[in-house]
Amino acid sequence: MNKEDQNTEKNPIEEILRMDRMPHIWCPGCGIGTVVTSFAEALRKEKYDLDKIAIVSGIGCTGRVAGYTKLDSFHTTHGRAIPFATGLKLAKPDTKVVVFSGDGDISGIGGNHLIHAARRNMDLVVICVNNFNYAMTGGQVAATTPKDANASTAPYGNFENAFNLPYITEAAGATYVARWTALHLRRVTKSIQEALNKRGFSFIEVITPCVTLYARRNRLGDGLNLLKYYYDMSEIQHGADTRTLDISYQGKLIVGKFVDKEKPTFLDAMNKHLSSVLGDKYQLYGDNND
């Protein structure tokens, strides 16, 4: 077998993985790897220049993704992936910046940054793995835990309301919003492809089983079962009114692409506005400002 053939035999995902860091820390049956596969597949399909994309994670099981991807990659602090990515994007506008992190990281401790980045239409792709709990720390209740689900800090069941993330992000100003389950591999891939090609704030929520904690505590079976369950319980409704997308415990999951619109990004708006106000004196800001 010549060298080229060997290369084509490699799993395409290896191209973007730090194989020198394998094996990864995720539990067998965890859904996070599935979402990473979709991400890798999106990059492959787009023939994306892997030198021109950076990935930023916060902290959590999902937060480990940045550490396993062979891209310019940053494992930051809990909740701060989005503002870190904001600085990175503004400093280097020709780089595509992807935030890949967990529900707790992005919508709990980092919730303020989420809405503000959406409001500014910051040109970022945010992939949020929603496993309905704080997994890394042992399965505590999160802002996304459905009512009545059990969590290690809600041992009698959760009585708080859960966030409906597509609704929040749309209301805050995101220009692309989708939700899938991890088993919608092709759909997730397609959404990531669309988001990569979009200028603006894109938010993709992926419902993903946490087998070890959320599933076990709630007696929901193993990873594959739960992955399949989420898939079966889902109903595709593109363009659904995001107000209707609340998630109930083991209930129906409305998935699809809900928002896909055009709006000037932060930098587009800044350049346009300052040029019109200051005229020629304004130093247009962009890719050449190295």
Ligand X SMILES: Cc1ncc(C[n+]2csc(CCOP(=O)(O)OP(=O)(O)O)c2C)c(N)n1
Q: Does 212 bind ligand SF4 (CB under 6 A)?
A: yes
Residue of 30, 102, 114, 115 lying closest to 66 (CA atoms): 102
- Among another protein, Mg ion, ligand SF4, none, the one that 270 touches (CB under a kind-dependent 5 to 8 A) is another protein
CA triple 265-271-277, angle to 5 deg: 130
As measured in angstroms, the least distance from the Cβ of 87 to another protein is 3
Q: Does 103 bind ligand X (CB under 6 A)?
A: yes
- Among Mg ion, another protein, ligand SF4, none, the one that 103 touches (CB under a kind-dependent 5 to 8 A) is Mg ion
Q: Does 102 bind Mg ion (CB under 5 A)?
A: yes
Q: Does 210 bind ligand SF4 (CB under 6 A)?
A: yes
- Window 49 to 68, contacts with ligand SF4 (CB under 6 A): 61
Q: Does 113 bind ligand X (CB under 6 A)?
A: no
As measured in angstroms, the least distance from the Cβ of 245 to ligand X is 19
How crowded is residue 183: how many other Cβ atoms within 10 Å of its Cβ?
A: 23
Size of the site for Mg ion (CB under 5 A): 5
Phi-psi map region of 210: left, alpha, beta (phi>0 left; psi -120 to 50 alpha) = beta
Q: Does 29 bind ligand X (CB under 6 A)?
A: no
- Among Mg ion, another protein, ligand X, none, the one that 127 touches (CB under a kind-dependent 5 to 8 A) is none
195 CB burial (10 A radius; 0-12, 13-18, 19+): buried
Spatial distance between the Cα atoms of 69 and 19, rounded to a whole number of angstroms? 9
Q: Does 202 bind ligand X (CB under 6 A)?
A: no
Cis geometry, peptide bond prior to residue 23 (ω within 30 degrees of 0): yes
As measured in angstroms, the least distance from the Cβ of 284 to another protein is 8
Which of helix, strand or coil describes residue 265?
Answer: coil
Signed CA dihedral, 132, 223, 99, 47: sign only: negative
Q: Please, are residues 267 and 123 in contact by the beta-carbon 8 Å criterion?
A: yes
Which of helix, strand or coil describes residue 213?
Answer: helix
As measured in angstroms, the least distance from the Cβ of 48 to ligand SF4 is 26
Q: Does 35 bind ligand X (CB under 6 A)?
A: no
Q: Does 183 bind ligand SF4 (CB under 6 A)?
A: no
Q: Does 27 bind ligand SF4 (CB under 6 A)?
A: yes
Contacting positions for ligand X (CB under 6 A): 59-62, 78, 101-105, 129, 131, 133-137, 142
